[in-house]
Amino acid sequence: MITPESIAQAHKDAKQRSDDAQVTIRILATVDEQNYARAIFDEVWPTDEGTQITANLLQAMVHNGTYVSGVYVDGQVVAAAFAFPGIDSQKHLHLHSHMAAVKEKYRNRNIGSALKWHQRAWALENGYETITWTFDPLVRRNARLNLVKLGVQVFEYFSDFYGDLPDALNAGDPTDRVIAKWSLLSDRVISAARNHNLEIPNEAFPVVLSNVYEEPVKQNVDMKSSTVLAYLPSDIIDVRATDPDSALEWRMALRAELEPRLKAGWHVEGLTKDGAYVISKEAR
């Protein structure tokens, strides 16, 4: 339940993350400010088909309650995020975070996580208890951010969710996505806000997908196992650029292990230190 105290604490958490990253994060309210965000989205996801989102559409959405924020370093916007209201299959209102991007020069400085904690505070202040977003389940660094640093859980897998995307980052690769569910006031997320390590020891769980010399290898396991591990490539972005056939092999291998389990009611509850999804039938 959202309370004034939980909102105040969320803003305190967000301020601490911004200070740690040495940035300032603000809502982008005007068209000129929003254009900074649009420029970043277009830089991170370049396409020959124009802009990722038009100025008039973004302004209309902001005017009607959409979240758009910018991260400032030395007076310049170096990262941005965009989220809008959504309704899930149970008719529950949530905030859906569609885009979050950091300029390449400013990556690996915890700016992305600072953006998410700012988004959490804004969401709670505006009555949202849940934020969702999609991410590519093959990208290990994103999985670590979402599962370990933020405390999300994953319950849904969608094959080729967006169809063929023309931007340089995704072109030619099936756009399989999982849905991150961030329950903003859960014990798990509050623990993440306190900087607790949410990595899960593998505890000798059965492995259904191994990473052997950066190649996916399916393992046969006892189907009665209630928790299994599926390993990820170290850097699928690099694999996609240098060996598209191997990237596709990884895509199909992970899809085969993850999609049917999530459809059957399993969920991804975390990530191990050595880069494996922990997939369970039951919540812990």
More confident residue, 45 or 143: 143
**pLDDT at residue 284 in the model:** 45
Q: What percent of the chain is modeled with pLDDT above 70? A: 95
227-240 confidence digits (pLDDT tens):
999 999 999 999 98
Contact 25, 70 (CB under 8 A): yes
Q: What DSSP element (H or E) covers 133?
A: strand 130-135
Instruction: Report which DSSP code applies to 184.
Output: T
**Over 70: is that where the pLDDT of 169 sits?**
no
Fold (topology level) of 4-193: Aminopeptidase (3.40.630)
Delimit the domains of the chain by residue range.
Answer: 4-193, 207-280
Q: Tell me: pLDDT of 155 over 50.
A: yes
Q: Which helix (H) or strand (E) holds 131?
A: strand 130-135
Please give the model's pTM, rounded to 2 decimal places: 0.92
* Residues 30-35, mean pLDDT to the nearest whole number: 95
pLDDT of residue 221: 79
Whether the predicted pLDDT of 224 surpasses 80: no
134 vs 90, which has greater pLDDT? 134
If 0-12 CB within 10 Å is exposed, 13-18 middle and 19+ buried, where does residue 12 land?
Answer: exposed
Strands, sheet with 130-135, edge to edge from the N-terminal-most edge strand: 24-27, 67-73, 76-87, 93-102, 130-135, 177-183, 153-158, 267-271, 276-280, 227-231, 207-212, 215-218
pLDDT of residue 166: 58
pLDDT score of 283: 57
Secondary structure in 3-state letters for 208-235: EEEEECCEEEECCCCCCCCEEEEECCCC
Tell me, what's the pLDDT at 68? 97
